[in-house]
Structure 1
Amino acid sequence: MLREVPSYTLFTVLMVICLFAIAIAKSIAPKRFDEFVLVIGNSKYLKIYGKDQKFLDYYDGLLFLNLIISSAIFFILCLQSFTNEKEFNSTLVFKLVLGIGIFILAKVLLERLIASLFEIDTIIDNYLFQKISYKNYLGLLLLPINAILVFGITPTENIIFGVIILLIIVNISGLFTTFKVYQNEIKNNLFYFILYLCALEIAPYIIIYSIFSA
């Protein structure tokens, strides 16, 4: 059932910014964008654009902007659903956007540093490019989902969990594509890759969970 649409001015402004960011990214590289939307389960985009990757080019930067804003909006919607708190502090949204952006960028920089120490720069650079691509893809999915949850259906706990499960499935599908493409390199550096995953993929989220659940 559709609900009465409240005045979510800030959400509207932020989602418009996201739309502009995506539109500019598509106008900058229309062919790349068309291939990007098919990235899950398709290694063509990763093989082509992973060769000339940069730390964060204009195209990826615009999609990254959409990712952190869309993630912050979805996080607020989760809080509203789980706490039944309809009012929210607009400052919290901006703090979340900034915090998510800093966390992801700092994590990428640390991962590149660790990769250099382990002398597995090539495999990790490719892995990071693919991981950033999948995260940006999740941001692309979150934009229409957020719009539906803000202006359409009421975001109940079941719906929120359903969205989270969908995002996890999409992310796992992307990781399987990555491992399939670089399975030989991963096998040759298996010990370092497992150590890398434990230290920089699992541990940070365990620490964050421990902080928020304390």
Structure 2
Amino acid sequence: MLRELVSNEIFTILLVISLLLIASARIAYPKRFNDFAFILVNYKYSNAYIKNQKFISGFESILFANLVVQLTVLFVIFYNVKESINLTTLEIYYTIGFGITLFLLIKTLVQRLISSVLNIDFIVSDYLFLKINFKNFVGLLLIPINFILIFSLDPHLNHLYIIGSILFFVHIIGLSYFFKTHLFAIKNNLFYFILYLCTLEISPYVVLYKLITTT
């Protein structure tokens, strides 16, 4: 059982790092963080910040770092369930964390490039803003989820499916807001937007799923 392993010390350190990151975001950007905390239940955050978005935001960067840490913890937990790995080896954490970071950053950069080529960057920029911030919110949710997995439960694959369903639901909320506010523009560019979604949103995760399940 995961909670009986001495290697929980590494998970504890990573959870503390995440808490420090969240605290720094809260201290450095108090108003924005307070608005962000309610992103699921109202549109105040999106309405206030979507038009002033920056390519690199300090607030989003801090939350993205937390997201990477928590996704790394989650991946290691369930990779251990599948393969029974040595959780005291730091290399596995570095490898998974680096892979997650590289995947998310390259995917975002390619999305921006393709949206410019297809001439739908005026839609995709808002889409990416919402998607990035809802992903960062997922990073917040993963802190208590991972804590429970490490210290209270004996993780198995059914837990992963439940967590995946919760995180998918959060993304659906974000997408529903995007489609509601950009419905007219999407209709006028429907073919290119569907092509964009299939190429850069669906296919990468299908490939990633195949790689994970076949290794």
CA distance in 2: counterparts of 1:53 and 1:44, whole angstroms: 14
Cα deviation, residue 86, structure 1: 6.0
1:207 match: 207
CA distance in 2: counterparts of 1:208 and 1:157, whole angstroms: 17
Residue 17, structure 1, aligned to residue 21, structure 2: no
CA distance in 1: counterparts of 2:149 and 2:85, whole angstroms: 13
Structure 1, gaps ≥5 residues long: none
1:67 match: 67
Cα pair 2:79 2:85 within 8 Å, conserved: no
CA distance in 2: counterparts of 1:86 and 1:96, whole angstroms: 13
CA distance in 2: counterparts of 1:152 and 1:67, whole angstroms: 22
Cα pair 1:41 1:177 within 8 Å, conserved: no
1:136 match: 136
Letter in 1 for 2:23: A
Letter in 1 for 2:16: V
Cα pair 1:40 1:177 within 8 Å, conserved: no
2:169 match: 169
Q: Is the partner of 1:104 in helix, strand or coil?
A: helix
1:87 match: 86
1:48 match: 48
Residue 195, structure 1, aligned to residue 174, structure 2: no
Structure 2, gaps ≥5 residues long: none
Count of aligned pairs between the two proteins: 212
Q: TM-score by structure 1 length? A: 0.92
CA distance in 1: counterparts of 2:86 and 2:203, whole angstroms: 33
Cα deviation, residue 7, structure 1: 4.1
Cα deviation, residue 157, structure 1: 2.7
1:111 match: 111
Alignment of 1:145-156 (within 5 A): 145-156=145-156
CA distance in 2: counterparts of 1:17 and 1:91, whole angstroms: 18
The structure-2 alpha-carbon separation of the partners of 1:157 and 1:204, relative to structure 1 and needing over 3 Å to count, comes to closer
Cα pair 1:115 1:121 within 8 Å, conserved: yes
Cα deviation, residue 111, structure 1: 0.7
The structure-2 alpha-carbon separation of the partners of 1:193 and 1:23, relative to structure 1 and needing over 3 Å to count, comes to same
2:122 match: 122
CA distance in 2: counterparts of 1:13 and 1:32, whole angstroms: 27
Cα deviation, residue 67, structure 1: 0.2
Cα deviation, residue 78, structure 1: 1.2
CA distance in 2: counterparts of 1:79 and 1:211, whole angstroms: 13
Moved more, 47-56 or 125-134: 47-56
Moved more, 120-129 or 169-178: 169-178
Cα pair 1:39 1:46 within 8 Å, conserved: yes
Moved more, 24-33 or 147-156: 147-156
Q: Is the partner of 1:38 in helix, strand or coil?
A: coil
The structure-2 alpha-carbon separation of the partners of 1:154 and 1:86, relative to structure 1 and needing over 3 Å to count, comes to farther
Cα pair 2:112 2:121 within 8 Å, conserved: yes
Moved more, 151-160 or 175-184: 151-160
Moved more, 11-20 or 124-133: 11-20
Cα deviation, residue 185, structure 1: 1.5
Q: Is the partner of 1:129 in helix, strand or coil?
A: helix
Cα pair 1:112 1:125 within 8 Å, conserved: yes
